[in-house]
Structure formats: structure tokens, C-alpha cells
Amino acid sequence: MTVDHPLPIVRTVQELRVETAGWRRRGETIALVPTMGALHQGHLSLVALARAHCRRTLVSLFVNPVQFGADEDLSAYPRDEASDAKKLARAGADLLYAPATAEMYPEGFATRVAVAGLTDHLCGPHRPGHFEGVATVVTKLLLQCLPDVAVFGEKDWQQLQVIRRLARDLDIPVGILGAPTLREADGLAMSSRNAYLRPRERRIAAHLHSTLVELARAVAAGDPCRAAEEKALRTLLEAGFTRIDYVTVADAATLQPIARIGERPARACAAARLGETRLIDNVAIEIS
Ligand code: PAF
């Protein structure tokens, strides 16, 4: 559906609750799509999934300072609320919740949500404090919006597992939906960070997906994970990645590294840098 009227925007928890209470009184279900803006087709596919599940789609736009590390430039994060709101209106969202930092973290805010275990591997050690920041803001968003379902991209596989776990552990009554990763024609996962890539880096970036696909194929065929991971690491370095944070086969739910593919679902996951830009991706390991 396309619309030519502007998307309504609320900026406070109080305004948000007035809108969502009206929906609930009418028996309308609510899907939340949390974002940090800089929206691309991948985000719009989350909106489409939300709309397929619920009568109302609420999108949040909040660049969450507490999930940025000391070496990550929060001020450089792309922001264009007007353009994001237009895209969301065209995609059929019903409401944008765009709180200021002081609304989300008022003076004296002192609480953190930490999900142990799941954050010990993959991106966790490379981005200290990141998942605590994500878990804290997502918990707040879920409690502020009280949606029936909330939608997150599978590209951030570890984030998705952390959010599933916090919702379960804290008895937050919400269904967490994972949306498949949208990819460019050469396989690169859509991400707001792709905009930072220079033309040469953009060409190299496509190797992240193809390397993970090959890693997944090799371990599904019975290769030991460690040897296949080492080969994948060499492939990424030869392709031109400047630093590999990890390229690993992990249990899809616990995120623990695994030595050989067994019965449980597994994912091939990687994080690698091209200059200043850090890219992540993951693919399912299909055992035939
Ligand atoms: O995936 C993101 O864009 C963010 O980590 C999220 C889930 C909106 C929390 O700030």
C-alpha cells in the first residue's frame, strides 16, 4: 500500500501510550519494528513482516547511545528522520516513535539489562558493553510499546538470540520474530554500514557472504569446523579484508562454537573489517 499523507510521529512515552491504548481498546494487534534509522530495503522488509502479523505496525527510531563503544563514532551515525518517515509511510507503517535521548534515559537512569552466556562469543568480546546497551534499550522499547510481536533482522543473529532470551527470562509477553536477511545482487547483506564503503571496499565486501556460504557447505559435507574456519579466514584476508574479528561455526541457539556439525541447527558467522567499516553476516548450515 502507498500513502501520500505524513506518518504520525510521537516522541514521548505518554503520547505513545495514548496511541497504542486506542489500538488495544479496538482489539487491534500491534507489531513493533525497532530501528536506529538510516532505513534501507532490509528495514522495510521487517515492516512488511510486521504488517503480515498484526493490524498495526509501530516503528521506533532511536540511535541508542549506550550500545556504541568508546571507539565507535555515535555522532557520525547517519540520521535523516524526515526521509525515514517517508519510507515508512510508503511501506504502510502506522506510527513512528522517535524519542529523544533524555526521554529514553532521563537524568539518574541507572538500570542495565545484561544477558549472560550468549554474549560471551562472536561479537560480544569485540564490542564490550554493546549487547548490554542493546538489551537495555530493547527491554525498554518492549515495555513502552507492549507489542504483540516485535521484529528483528536475522543479519544480527546474535542480537536476535539475545533479545529472544531476555524476553523469555523477563517474562515479557511478546513474540519475537526473525526476518530473513535481504541481500544485494552480489550477496552482500543490506546494512546501513554499507554506505561507508568506498568502491573498492564495496567490491571486496561481497566476499563475506560467498565465504560463509562455502564454509557452511564444507562443514555440512562433514569437514571439521576448525579446519574449514581457518580456510575461510585465509579467503577473507586474501580477498582484501583488513581485519577478521571472527569467522566461526556456532550453535544457532546457544552461539557456542562447535567442532563438527551434529543434529542441532548451526550457523556460519563472521565479522570482518574493511578499513573503518565493520561488517557482519551469517548463514544457516543446511544438512541434507
Ligand atoms: O538492530 C538495531 O538497529 C538496534 O540494535 C536495535 C535493535 C534497534 C536496538 O537499538
**What is the spatial distance between Cα 225 and Cα 261, in angstroms, rounded to a whole number?**
8
Give the pTM.
0.97
Give the ranges where the chain is alpha helix by DSSP (H).
13-25, 41-53, 81-91, 101-104, 123-126, 130-145, 157-169, 199-220, 225-239
Q: Are 229 and 254 in contact (CB under 8 A)?
A: no
Question: In testing the pocket of ligand 1, which one of 119, 137, 144 has its CB within 8 Å of the most ligand atoms?
Answer: 137
Successive 10-residue mean pLDDT values, the chain, 288 residues: 78 98 98 98 98 98 96 90 98 98 98 98 97 98 98 98 98 98 98 94 98 98 97 98 98 96 96 96 93
Q: Ligand 1 centre from 34 Cα, in Å?
A: 6
Q: Are 58 and 32 in contact (CB under 8 A)?
A: yes
Q: Is 130 a catalytic residue?
A: no
Q: Ligand 1 centre from 62 Cα, in Å?
A: 8
Q: In DSSP terms, which residues pair with 273 in a beta bridge? A: 243, 278
pLDDT on residue 281:
98
Q: Are 62 and 137 in contact (CB under 8 A)?
A: yes
Ligand 1 atom at minimum distance from 138 CA: 9
